[in-house]
Amino acid sequence: MTSLTTLTIVVPCFNEEETLANCIECVLDIAMDDLVLEIIIVDDASSDRSLNIASALADNHACVKVLKHESNCGKGAALRTGFAAATGDFVAVQDADLEYDPMDLRRLVIPLQNGDADVVLGSRFRTSQSSRVLYFWHSMGNQFLTLLSNMFTDLNLTDMETCYKVFKREIIQAIEIEENRFGFEPEVVAKVAEMRCRVYEMGISYRGRTYEEGKKIGARDGFRALYCILRYNAHKAPLPIQFFFYLFIGGTAAVINLVAFLTLRELSIPTVPAAFTAFGVGALANYWLSIKTIFRHNAKWNTSTEIIAYSVVVLLGASVDATVTYAFIGLQFAEWAAKAIASCIALIVNFLGRRLLVFPEIARGPWRPSKQ
């Protein structure tokens, strides 16, 4: 027999006065003899009556708690606040707009109660339940983002962008949520995959809203999701894939180096100082792009040690570049050919130095609950 468990349901809310009360009433209906609810509404500085409605619900139901933000921060920020306050055995997400049927949470929690799963995701595409037919390009976008996420995480999900995600509390509270908006979805999937949690997926019903009805996600969030898939997965990708993305970083930094050099020369700065200054600007751009995309900042070192290691690798790359160029010129290569060969070799040296010395990845085993 399944033992008594508590499910914390975090409800991020921003200007949902039309649906919030109905949403909470529907959530309350899923309580069972073996399932106790803790409902945390996080009002994200709504400008309508949402906070008043939430407060009234809390007054009428002891299991409902209300937290609020003084300024609007986004869905991810609201979830971060709610997750930190959760005390249940499991933690679920419920949007206040009622696009998802809370009754599905009864099924989603079962693999967790049985001890089979650490995380359960509800899929709008793996279902025999009813779903409202809406935007074709939204559906294609979701499937493309899910495919891209799966390529990095090695999970075979069908709906990475789903709202319905249910976690063991220890897992979601061990994850540092960095995204403030809808980037939460690819971020948390990436971090769950990195923890090597046992992930299950189950079909759910879906009644989507139109933009006229209050849908908030837009094209900007789609592009942010692309960035988040790269940002939170690339640091653990195989070396060839990382090197492929590093080519863009190196190329961008090279362009910045060139533009800086030409700008300084236009300002009548002598060639040698201009070259060294431009090289430094390019190196700083390379470092910033590295930690914002494919490498994990402070993976092993603190910031000061990381910068020292990065500087050593940069100097090593510059030395390799100069030495190889000089050597190939001595072998009667044309100067442009010698420099091109040296640049390619230096690029590889720079990449390996960053990956293995500056931003080394520490191997992690599967997630295990901490012993009390």
**Which of the four pLDDT bands, split at 50, 70 and 90, describes residue 142?**
confident
Quote the CA–CA distance of 191 and 159 in Å, as a whole number. Answer: 16
% pLDDT > 90, the chain: 62
Burial of 272 (0-12, 13-18, 19+ CB in 10 A): exposed
Could you give phi then psi for residue 203, rounded to 5 degrees? -70, 145
Q: What is the reported pLDDT for 137?
A: 66
Quote the CA–CA distance of 342 and 349 in Å, as a whole number. Answer: 10
Which tokens in the block code for residue 96? 């206040």
Is residue 372 one of the residues assigned to a domain? Answer: no
DSSP 311-359: HHHHHHHHHHHHHHHHHHHHTT--HHHHHHHHHHHHHHHHHHHIIIIIS
322: which residues sit within 8 A by CB, 6+ positions away? 342
Q: Which of 235, 255, 277 is the last residue of a domain?
A: 235
288 and 209 fall within a common domain: no
**Which of the four pLDDT bands, split at 50, 70 and 90, describes residue 359?**
very high
* Nearest residue to 317 via CA among 348, 272, 282: 348
151 and 251 fall within a common domain: no
**What are the pLDDT digits (tens) for 102-111?**
999 999 999 9
- Rg of the chain (C-alpha set): 25
81 and 206 fall within a common domain: yes
Whether residue 372 is predicted with pLDDT greater than 50 in this model: the reply is no
Domain span at 165: 5-235
| Count of residues making up the chain | 372
Which tokens in the block code for residue 155? 């999970």
**Which of the four pLDDT bands, split at 50, 70 and 90, describes residue 1?**
very low
**What are the pLDDT digits (tens) for 210-235?**
545 555 566 777 888 999 999 999 98
Least confident of 106-120, 219-233, 344-358: 219-233
Which tokens in the block code for residue 34? 């073996």
Is residue 365 one of the residues assigned to a domain? Answer: no
Which tokens in the block code for residue 26? 């529907």
98 and 195 fall within a common domain: yes
Is residue 367 one of the residues assigned to a domain? Answer: no
70 and 211 fall within a common domain: yes
Whether residue 127 is predicted with pLDDT greater than 70 in this model: the reply is no
157 and 256 fall within a common domain: no
Residue 51 host element (H or E): helix 50-60
